[in-house]
Chain A
Amino acid sequence: MAGEPVDAATLLARIAGGDRAAVKHLYDSMGMKLLGVVARIIGDRQEAEDVVQEVFITIWRKAAEYDPARASPAAWMLTIARNRAIDRIRARGSRPSGSPEALEPLADPHARADSLADANDTERTVHRALAGLDPRHAAVIRAAYLDGMSYDALSAREGVPVGTIKTWVFRGLRQMRERVAS
């Protein structure tokens, strides 16, 4: 795939048609990214790989349900991956002691550039929007999205009631949406 831009939407359409080779292409372009996201939530490398395996099986089965009018391929796949990972940690009640530092991030900068190539502008906008929020609101939004923390976990971490966390989340996200839109 050297130098060849990967169009994930096309790959998903091919997978929907039963093209197994397209799954490999998608895995090559998105697998590392999804493993990073899942491992951050799960906190255990081996279990994270199990989840990524389930994610690609799900993509294979459900590619026909992907609607390009409603979601970007990256957001669709991230949703599947995060939902799987969060379901796991909710089911077991808490995170294991394994720290994300034990995981080896990939040094290759190209891998990162390939994976969500079209997100860069949006990324900057979203990060700017987040940076403009009350720091406590931004912190719980990031911890929830990136680490998969529940209301209870966030409440314990911040030392405030769950209701307060909810208020921060709703106010923060609403403000973020306004900033991204403007």
Chain B
Amino acid sequence: MTDDLPDDLTPADMLAMEWALGTLDSKARADAEVRRARDPEFAALCSNWAEQLAPLAEEIAPIAPSPALWSRIDAEIGKEDGFQPAATPVTIAPWWSRLALWQGATAAFASLALALLVTRPSPPAPAASPPAAATQGNLLAATLAAESGRALVTASLDTGRSSVVVSPVASEDLDGRVPELWLIPADGTPRSLGLIDLGGVQKVSVSPTLLKLVAEGAVLAVSLEPAGGSPTGLPTGPVVATGKLTNL
């Protein structure tokens, strides 16, 4: 294929073209996504091509969505109200500081506290939280570790906030795949909580349906999936870490 190739194009240039055009297969797309996240120069090439190609979409006629679509989107967003994008960590801070305090305790103390199943009163609702949705919440935590015992992420789940805060503590060779977080409740069937990023602390929302399945002893797990997440709704890739939820 190389005989005719324009010789002034760099491999990054060509990959960015393929990324923006969308011609790659799943594996290569996932690899390109990883590179885009890690390599700002490559990400800029990609944005540039996405920008150049966007006008092509103008020729596609708009389609009026069914009236139910907006209701579905609005309901989904409503569930996440109080969720703040990662770039505004302010609302995460009070949460996180509580966990940091807990993590600061000695391991011996922590395991003792866990062994005694110390339950803590639900935290006072911060002023910023949405008024109506504030319910009495349970705080659960889990350390997700590989079979070797190596911890990959810690997670703390606040049922009152319908969310789980995930904090990576180690990196993982993703091999072009994306980490997906799963809740495995008492019935043993994994439910996806969505894709996570091992690059930093983040808050993942938990739908009311899944929230009902959250209980002490339920397991959180991380599997590596193709770009866009598991296509089947169940983990398809290797499970790289698991951990049991314990009441705090």
Chain A residues at the B interface, C-beta cutoff of 8 Å: 16-18, 20, 23-24, 27, 31-33, 35-37, 39-40, 45, 48-49, 52-53, 56-57, 60-65, 70-72, 74-76, 78-79, 82-84, 86-88, 90-92, 103-106, 108, 111-112, 115-116, 119-120, 122-123, 125-127, 130, 141-142, 144-146, 148-152, 154, 161-167, 169-171, 173-174, 176-177, 180
Considering the complex, which residues of chain B in the window 1-55 have a beta carbon less than 8 Å from any beta carbon of chain A?
A: 1-2, 4-6, 8-9, 14, 17-18, 20-26, 29, 44, 47, 49-55
Give the complex CA separation of A154 and B24 in angstroms. 11
Are B70 and A145 in contact (CB-based, < 8 A)? no
- Could you name 15 residue pairs across A and B whose Cβ atoms are closer than 8 Å? A35-B64, A35-B65, A49-B65, A61-B80, A64-B87, A65-B87, A78-B57, A92-B231, A105-B61, A126-B56, A166-B18, A167-B5, A170-B6, A170-B9, A176-B52
Please tell me if B88 contacts chain A, counting CB pairs below 8 Å.
yes
Are B50 and A144 in contact (CB-based, < 8 A)? no
Are B17 and A33 in contact (CB-based, < 8 A)? no
Are B9 and A174 in contact (CB-based, < 8 A)? yes
Partner of B58, one of A103, A104, A116, A161: A116
Residues of A within 8 A of B84 (CB): 18
Number of B residues contacting the other chain (C-beta, 8 Å)? 58
Give the complex CA separation of A35 and B84 in angstroms. 26
Query: A48: shortest Cβ distance to chain B, in Å?
Result: 8
Considering the complex, which residues of chain B in the window 139-182 have a beta carbon less than 8 Å from any beta carbon of chain A?
A: none
User: Which of B24, B53, B228 is most buried by chain A, counting CB atoms within 10 A of its CB?
Assistant: B53
* Per-position 1/0 for B83-108, Cβ under 8 A of A: 11111100000000000000000000
Are A36 and B23 in contact (CB-based, < 8 A)? no
Give the complex CA separation of A72 and B51 in angstroms. 7
A23-B73, A111-B62, A116-B57 known; A173+B21 contact, CB < 8 A: yes
